[in-house]
Structure 1
Amino acid sequence: MKPPASARPNQAKFWREPAFAGAELLRAAYRTHRFPPHTHDEFAFGVIERGAQAYLDSRGQRIIMPEGTICVINPGHLHEGRPATEAGWDYRMVYIPTTGLISLLKDDGEDFSGTLYFPETVIDDPQTMKLIREAHVCSESNDATQLEKTSRLATAVFQLVQRHGQMPHPMPRPAAIPGAVKRAREGPRRPWTASLRRCGR
């Protein structure tokens, strides 16, 4: 007989956002789960909602990701994962293909190239953490439109890159709207700011 979901030590839910560069999203609550050493082809970033995650990087250094922080893993970065304490951790993650992320950061008509890199894997930035979490919650909501989901995710990613990413070429202006979202918003005009409040604001 299967134990009730609330009694299971490790729970995870995956879904996709095809309109947002084919991103995959994960919401998980892990108490005993451990990840073996691995890498990602995509950028992986998210927020720790409860507890703390620990991992050993490629140099054998133990990294702690505590509650309220942003975690970022660059493509190709070897790492593993485990609970930092017996209480485990809850988190929300977004996995975005490199080419898709760069495309989202382009202004319409602007040639934007270079290698994006995040020098820090653990980031203490409450404002951006809140944006990422709200965008993730919105993506999971059945009440939000696709435009709302894409807009929130783009805003959160754009701020994360602006504040914490490094790139050899100039970044787009903070006020700019990523091209994919701008084109979507050029469709039928309708007020959607009130709807955004339904999914986490």
Structure 2
Amino acid sequence: MKIDQQLLEQIILEVAGRLTEKPKLLLVYETTTTTEKIEYLTSKFKEHWRVEVFNADDARLKEQSDYQQLVFLDVNQDLLARGAMGLTDTLSSSLLAKALLHGQSIFFEPAKDLQWLLEKRDQSSIPERVKRYQAQLLKYKKKLHEFGVWFGFVEYLRPSQHVYDRKLLTERDIQKINTSEIWVASTTIITNLARDAAKEKGIQFRVDHEEQI
């Protein structure tokens, strides 16, 4: 049987292309996101990902599914609450719900007025009624975190990160992880042996603070 060398070479090139193809990152932005920020992030991420950018109101979001990383920029209170309560009446919340149901990697960067969700702060000077309202928003954040959504500043996002969502991180867990950085919640207990093992492997911890009010 004679082999068509040209066809064989074409098949090999197609297979090689798929093997080396970068993972797809879906970047969803709000109207408050500046063009400069989108251009900067697209340039930054294109080294490791195939970046596709969509406005949160773009009807084409309904068709998106073949991505490995989903990033929401300038997340507002509306998406925070809708996501935590499982509502799907907007394009963004529908995309989020679908991603959660399929266990896809999701990253939230809060809008400027919600970035306090990422930090530990002194609560002594905040009025009690404000604390109660903030506590409700923190519950939404915690619920989304339990669902698998990670919160942070998007500049720190890299493919080499591992999100660990269990309550206890042990040495055995570290031995199974082959990344340069592990993201954990502030409530996760990291054993001393796990810290030693991470140091030996050159792994750094990034902590997401779940502030209690």
Answer 1 or 2: which has greater helix percent: 2
Larger CA Rg, structure 1 vs 2: 2
Answer 1 or 2: which has greater strand percent: 1
Q: Would you call these one fold, judging by a TM-score over 0.5?
A: no
Question: If the length of structure 1 is used for normalisation, what is the TM-score?
Answer: 0.29
Question: If the length of structure 2 is used for normalisation, what is the TM-score?
Answer: 0.28
